[in-house]
Each structure stands twice: as C-alpha cells, then as structure tokens.
Amino acid sequence: NNTNVPDFILTGLSDSEEVRIALFMLFLLIYLITMLGNLGMILVIHLDLQLHTPMYFFLTHLSFIDLSYSTVITPKTLANLLTSNSISFMGCFAQMFFFVFLGAAECFLLSSMAYDRYVAICSPLHYPVIMSKRLCRALLTGPYVIGFMDSFVNVIWMSRLHFCDSNVVNHFFCDTSPILALSCTDTYDIEIMICILAGSTLMVSLITMSASYVCILSTILKINSTSGKQKAFSTCTSHLLGVTIFYGTMIFTYLKPRKSYSLGRDQVASVFYTIVIPMLNPLIYSLRNKEVKNAAIRVMQRIRYFLSL
C-alpha cells in the first residue's frame, strides 16, 4: 500500500489567523530588508573599485547565497501564511534540493573567507601573491561543487521514501527531518547517510575555520601595539559573529537523531537560519566595516551625481 503522495500539506507556524497575519507582516519586512541588504552589498562591492579584493569577492558571493537561500524559503512561507499550505511533491523536493545546496555552499564559503583572513593577518606581505585570482576562483568553486554534490545525494536518497497514511508535514518548509518523520518506510539508512553528510559538511568546514582562527589569534597576540591588535581583530569580528550565529543554529538543528525532533523548538531555530540570518549577514558586514560604509557613501554620491545630470 506504499504510494507517493501527489502533494504535501505544510502545517506552517500557527493555526491562529491573527498570528499568521502578524508573522506574514514580520517575515515580509525581514525579506525586504534581506533583498535590499544583500543586493545593496553586491552593488556597492561591484561599483567601488577599492573593494575589488579577495575578501569582498567572497563577501559578494555570501550575499548572493544568502539572497538565494532566503528566496528558496521565504516567498513560499509568506504565501502559505495567507493562502493554501499545499506544495507539490516535485516542488517540495526542489525546495529541499536548493535549501541543502545553498546551506552546504555557505558553510564552505565561510571556510574560504576564514582562510582569506588567515592569509591577510598571518602572511600580510605575501597576501597579494597567495590570494591570486586562480586561488580565489578555486576557493569559490569548491563550495558550490561540494554543496551541489551533497544536495544531489541527499535528494536522491530522500526521493526513495514512500508515504502511506498522511501527507501533512509538521513544518513550514520541506526539510529533511519532518519528511523523514512522515515516511512509512524504514528510514534508518537514509538517516545515517544524512547524518554523515550533514556532520561531515559542518565538521570539516568548522575545523577548517577553527584552525584558521587559532593561527590568527596566535599571530594577533604576538603584535606589540594595542592599535595593531585592535585593527587585526576588527577584520575578523564580523566574520566570527556571522559564523557563530549560522553554525550555532545549524548544529542545534541537524546534528541530532530524528527521535529528538521537536516541532516547536526546531521551527524556531529553522526560522532563525532560513529567514533571519540572511538578513543579518549584510548588516553585520556593513555596519561593522568602515570600508563598506565609506564605499556605500561614495556609490550613493555617484548615483546622486548621475541623477542630477
């Protein structure tokens, strides 16, 4: 009697109409800020020649991933808050594919950014030579390739599931844990595979970043001047803050067995890393970075000049 359902019903975040309307307004505001923040970051970095460095090259793609990441989840969530909660079988797995792809790509892109900061602080004189265009392209291509492979394997295994009695997904988007909980077939092998993929992605990227920052901290502590230490720390604090928020919620959500899945607790964490974090990253990297703020001012002055002609 195992059959694949034609579509799924997403339970969403609340049954209360008042709460759903309030969440719609909040998520719409967050999404608009996310769009403006990330597109603005990409535009400023592209237009200002002083920001054409490896650090901002990676930051451009972080903004692109965050923008795409949010777009995969938020518009459908907004629609479900006001109208039908249904999503087609193919639409569900397409959402899952891009969600995993972009999430894994962001993990390794953050590692590439950590390596860039390591070279900048630990080998400043050799930085232009080491961080060549060829290496930057390799450090960028790697995250996208690894993210695609992780997502492809994940979705292929998940597509083998069968659903018998219910098509109601206890979540607001098509994530792996609630889909596994819905299946009526044995999911042990798939859970192990997902745990290995998610665990290796998070741990390898996290170990790479940790090693980079251990070396960075060791180098900073050897700097004699207080101003030199503060300048070195300031180049890393934005990245560290973004990494801490992103990895904290991802590890909390995914590095645990399915039996410990909690609808309310996991939904709050999911809202944070799918909707809120893509909004926070451009704010973190712009408000805490004088170069970005000065570049934004220069770009605005140029735009105002051209408009006045």
Task: Write out the two tokens for 147.
Answer: 């993210």
Please report which confidence band the pLDDT of residue 262 belongs to, taking 50, 70 and 90 as the band edges.
Answer: low
**147 occurs within a structural domain:** yes
pLDDT for 261? 52
Number of domains in the chain: 1
Please report which confidence band the pLDDT of residue 2 belongs to, taking 50, 70 and 90 as the band edges.
Answer: very low
Which has more pLDDT, 35 or 6? 35
Decide: 183 and 161 in contact? Cβ < 8 Å: yes
pLDDT in tens, 165-186: 778 888 889 888 888 888 888 8
pLDDT for 199? 82
pLDDT in tens, 196-232: 888 888 889 989 988 988 898 888 888 777 777 777 6
**171 occurs within a structural domain:** yes
**2 occurs within a structural domain:** no
The closest alpha carbon to 288, from 242, 223, 251, 225, belongs to 242
pLDDT for 36? 92
Please report which confidence band the pLDDT of residue 1 belongs to, taking 50, 70 and 90 as the band edges.
Answer: very low
Asked if residue 300 has pLDDT above 80, the reply is: yes
**176 occurs within a structural domain:** yes
**108 occurs within a structural domain:** yes
**81 occurs within a structural domain:** yes
Q: Residue 40's domain spans which residues? A: 7-308
CATH code of the domain in which 34 resides: 1.20.1070.10
Distance (Å, whole) CA 173 – CA 92? 8
pLDDT for 162? 82
The residue-averaged pLDDT of 228-247 equals: 75
**241 occurs within a structural domain:** yes
Cα dihedral across residues 116, 72, 89, 177: positive or negative: positive
pLDDT in tens, 31-72: 999 999 999 999 999 988 888 999 999 999 999 999 999 999
Asked if residue 113 has pLDDT above 60, the reply is: yes
Residue 12 phi, psi dihedral angles, 5° rounding: 80, -160
Arithmetic mean of pLDDT over the chain: 84
**292 occurs within a structural domain:** yes
pLDDT for 138? 95
Q: How far is CA 166 from the centre of its chain?
A: 31
